[in-house]
Amino acid sequence: MTTVIMRPDDANIVGNVHGGTILKMIEEARCIIGTRHCNTQTGDRCVAALARVERTDFLHPMFIGEVAHVSAEITYTSKHSVEVQVNVLSENIVTGAKKLTNKATLWYVPFSLQNVAKIVEVPPIEYSSPEQEEAGKKRYEAQKLERLETKERNGEIIMSVSLPEPYTVAFSQSSLIHLIGPSDCTLHGFVHGGVTMKLMDEVAGIVAARHCKTNIVTASVDAINFHRKIKKGCVITISGRMTFTSNKSMEIEVFVDADPLVEAEKGKYRAVTAFFTYISLDKDNKPHPVPPLKLEGEEEQKRFEEGKARYLQNKAKRLADKERQQ
């Protein structure tokens, strides 16, 4: 278990801990347990690289001064990947009150330290029952299929528009440029998944704040797909655009494009994609209505309808989960 106290640099101007800070903690905990497991066998030493993050819900906000407890467990292994499930608890060290703030599932692939292009075989784990193993296999096949489907959309580019109308996609879309330095990277010289996710959350937060002009917090993150590794020395551009709004939430699509400056002949490429959901809060930290998104053109209408379908699907899943817990 990892324990971290939340500091002012981890939070927004009203004291809510950034979703990206929590995602970074989650990824670091899972990277440790994944790498440890993959090095329990003889052969090449390796490090576990993040390949995908499943949908992550932010169940309760975390605040400055609270302590985050991050616990991780390996729940499935295939020949070349590891599924790790993580829980995050926040603790008020003054009152002793604890609450579950996040539950997440990540997939890792182990790469050899001697040859970064070589994927190392994963030691199998023991399952408590055949049913548990079968359920894990189904999750593995489902995420593998969705990663392939996501790659088909990777040709899209967010274009900048001058003087856009308020509440349009163009008005709030935002980009951030970051040079990948040594402190951002693993032993292999490739960027930590947590670093990338934190930057993605920052851009998504800017998009959400520009749209509604209120305090905003991360509500959930749909699957984050890591399509290609990002090497030290690359310049990455993180771009976000609004795709859907409901009465109280906003969906923002975020792309990460990498530009290898030293190996410029390789060209730019799409490295990571995800959908973030934010909610607007009033001065009392209560949910606040979100201004409707003004759509321009067929492409924006199509993305809006796709976002609406995801919103309704996730809403139905939350209701079903709530009924099962009662």
Asked whether 153 and 273 are in contact (CB, 8 A), the reply is yes
Which residue among 12, 87, 154, 285 is the active-site one?
A: 12
| CB environment 8-26: b (16+ within 10 A), e (fewer) | eebbeeebbbbbbbbbbbb
Task: Tell me which residue of 301, 13, 321, 263 sits closest to 169, measured CA to CA.
Answer: 301
Q: Which two tokens stand for residue 30?
A: 């899972």
Beta carbons within 8 Å of 129's beta carbon, 6+ residues apart: none
Q: Is 92 a catalytic residue?
A: no
Radius of gyration of the CA atoms of the chain, in A: 20
Of residues 10, 16, 102, 201, which has the active-site annotation?
201
Alpha helix (H) ranges present in 104-235?
130-151, 169-172, 193-212
Angle CA(61)–CA(65)–CA(66) in degrees, nearest 5?
A: 50
Q: Residues near 193 by Cβ (< 8 Å), separated by ≥ 6?
A: 27, 31, 49, 50, 53, 106, 226
- For residue 284, indicate whether it is catalytic: no
CB 183 within 8 A of CB 192: no
Q: What are phi and psi of 320, to 5 degrees?
A: -65, -40
- Annotated catalytic residues are 12, 201
